[in-house]
A and B are shown apart, each in its own frame.
Chain A
C-alpha cells in the first residue's frame, strides 16, 4: 500500500474528526470559548492510562525494530482502528471490561517487541488495527459517559497518533546495538506487566 493510498484512507476519519472537533461544548472558562473541553478530557484519559500507553508503545517498538514499512503500517493503521471503534464505543455506551482482556495486548505486543521476530508487514498492520479497535472501543465507551464523547475520542486519537509516531521513529533511528537491546528489554517489561495484570484480573474474577 502506498503512502498516498494510506493517506486517502485517512481522509474520511480526518474530516469526521474536524467536524466533531468544532462542535461546541461546556468546560472550564478557557475551553468554553473554544468548545474543545472534551478534546482535552480524551487526551488526558489516554495519558493517565498506562494500561493503554504500554501496548501502544510496545507496538511502536515492534514496528520500529522491523523497519520502515512496518513503522508506516503501525502509525497509519492504529489511529484508524482507534477512531472508528472509538466512535462505535461512544454510540454503544459504557462497557465493563475485565483486566483479563486488557492484559492480552500487553503480553502479545510486549512479547513480540522483546522477541523481535521477522514478520511480514501485513501482520504489523493487522496487529495495529486490532489494538486500535480494542482500545478505541474501551476508550470510546468510557467517553460515552461524558457530554460530547466523540470529541473526547478525537482528543484520545490525537495523542495516540503522536505517541506511536514518536516511539516508532525513535526506535527506527536507534541504530546502535545497545539501544536496540534496550528497547527489546522494555518490550519484555511490557509483557511482564501484562502477565501481572492477567493474574490480577483472574484473581478479581475469582478464577484464581
Chain B
C-alpha cells in the first residue's frame, strides 16, 4: 500500500528539510573531536563503584584529559590501563566514605583545552541509569543527589523510546504489519490497536497484576513475528485471510503480548512505588514515539525507493516476507530451546 500516494508534495518538502538538517548536525558535530571520551560508572555495592574511563586515540595521539575524583572518593584498586586500536581504557574500583557517589564531583583535567566532549553514564544498583554530556566549557560533573521530576520524566521517556528501537523483535512485528495493510486508514487503525493493546498489558504487568515468565513470553513474541511471514506472502499474491482483512484485530491480540515484553524494560529501571503511574505514562509515550518514528522511517524509505524506481526483480519480491518469517522462525526455535535448558 505504501507508495508515492502516501507522500504528497508537502511531505517531500519535509523530507527535503530533514535531509538538509542531516547536514546541519554533522557540520556542528565536526566542530568537535570525532569520538567523545566516555566514563562509565557502575554501582556494585552501597558505596562501591566500578569505573571505566575511555579516551580516544587519533593518529597515535592520546587525548590529554585526566579523570580526577573528589577527595572523599578513594581508589580500591589502582587504575589498570589497556590499549585498544582506537582508544585507551582505564578501569578501577572506587569507594566513597559516606555511603554513595551522590553529591560528589569528578573533574576532567585538561578537557577545557580540547574540543572533545565526555559522555558520562552512571548505572545505579536500583536500575536507574543517567547519561550526561560534559562539554569543555564545564569540565566536571556533579553527581546528582536526587532526580528532579523533569529529569525523571526524561529518563522514563527516553527509556521507552530506546526500548522499542533497540528491540528488533518489536520492530519486525511492526514491519510485518506495514507489509500487509493496504490503506492509510487501515494503517492508522492497526497501529492504534497495537498501541492500545500493549498499553493495557504494560500497565497490568507494571502494576504487578499479571506476571508472565520471560522465556515463554519471548518465545511467543517470536512466534508473532513468524506468523507474519506467510501473511506477507498471501498479501503479495493478492490472496486474502482473516489477518489481511482485519489486521487491526491481529495487531491488538499480539499487541497484548508485546506489552508484557515492554514491561520488562520498564521494571528494569527500578521503579519507586510512588513513581509508577508517572513512569508508566512517560515510558509508554516513549515507546509510542519510537514506534511512530520507525513507521515514519519505513514509509519514507519505501516512498524514496519508489521515487528512484528501485524495486526487487521478479522472483525476489518475497524477500521481505522471508526475512521477517526467517528471523521469526529462528528466534522461535532459539527461545523454545532456551526454555527447555538449551541443546546441551
Contact = CB atoms under 8 A, between A and B. Distances in A.
A3 B309 contact: yes
A28 B59 CA distance: 31
Interface in A44-61: 48-51, 53-54, 57, 60
A173 B323 CA distance: 30
A165 B302 CA distance: 9
A186 B20 contact: yes
A75 interface: yes
Contact of A169 (B15, B26, B311): B15
B343 interface: no
B319 interface: yes
Given A30-B166, A50-B26, A205-B59, A22 B326 contact: yes
Q: Is the interface of A mostly helix, strand, loop or mixed?
A: helix
Interface string B167-206: 1110000000000000000000000000000000000000
A107 interface: no
Given A53-B26, A172-B308, A179 B323 contact: no
A7 B316 contact: yes
B331 interface: yes
Interface residues of B, number: 53
Contacts of B168: 31, 34, 36, 39
A98 B313 contact: no
Interface residues of A, number: 63
A166 interface: yes
B113 interface: no
Interface in A92-137: 94, 96, 98-99
Interface of B: 12, 15-16, 18-20, 22-23, 25-27, 29-30, 34-35, 58-61, 84-86, 163, 166-169, 218, 265, 268, 297, 300-301, 303-305, 307-314, 316, 319, 323, 326-327, 330-331, 334-335
9 contacts: A5-B313, A34-B168, A50-B26, A57-B19, A168-B304, A170-B304, A173-B12, A173-B16, A173-B307
